[in-house]
Amino acid sequence: ILEGGSVASNHNVVVYATSNRRHLVKESFEERNGSEVHRNDAIQETASLAARFGLTITFSKPAKDLYLEIVKGYAKQYGLGLDENELFIKAEAFALRNNGRSPRTARQFVEHEKILETLK
C-alpha cells in the first residue's frame, strides 16, 4: 500500500492513514467535558495513533542522484534490460510526467518499462 500498490501482500497488516485524528477517534463535547476522574489522562489516551504506536512514516523526495540509484536497484531486481544511460534518461522523463522523483515513482517506472519489455 505504501509503495502505491492496491493489492496487500500481508493478511495481518492494517494501515490507518489520516492527516487529522478526528477522522479516526470519535470525540464529542460530552466526552471532552466527561466525568473522568483523571480528565487529562483520558484526553491523552485518545490523542493520536502516532503517539500510541510510535510510528511515523514520511515520504520525502530524494535528490536526483538518490532517485536514479533507487531506479537502478529496482531495474536490477526486475531484470530490466536497459543500459544505464537510457534507463536514467527514461526514468527522469517518467518522473517529470508522474509526480516527481520518489521511491514510488521509481518502482512504477521500472514496472512500466518491464511490461513494455515483455510486450516486445
Cβ–Cβ < 8 Å for 114, 82: no
Give the separation between CA 108 and CA 65, rounded to whole angstroms: 18
* pLDDT for residue 61: 87
Closest CA to 18 of 46, 45, 57: 57
Angle at 10 between CA 9 and CA 15, to 5 degrees: 100
Mean pLDDT for the stretch of residues 18-29: 57
Give the separation between CA 48 and CA 24, rounded to whole angstroms: 9
| Residue 9 predicted with pLDDT over 80 | no
| Residue 20 predicted with pLDDT over 90 | no
Provide, rounded to the nearest whole percent, the portion of the chain with pLDDT above 70.
Answer: 52
pTM above 0.75, yes or no: no
Give the separation between CA 74 and CA 59, rounded to whole angstroms: 18
What residues have CB less than 8 Å from 92, skipping those under 6 apart? 64, 68
Angle, helices 64-78 vs 103-119, to 10°: value is 40
Domain boundaries, the chain: 1-57, 64-119
CA distances 83 to 32, 38, 62, 68, Å, are 61, 65, 22, 13
- Average pLDDT across the chain, whole number: 77
Residue-wise pLDDT tens digits, 58-116: 667 899 999 999 999 999 999 999 999 999 999 999 999 998 999 989 999 999 999 99
Give the separation between CA 101 and CA 66, rounded to whole angstroms: 9
* pLDDT for residue 109: 96
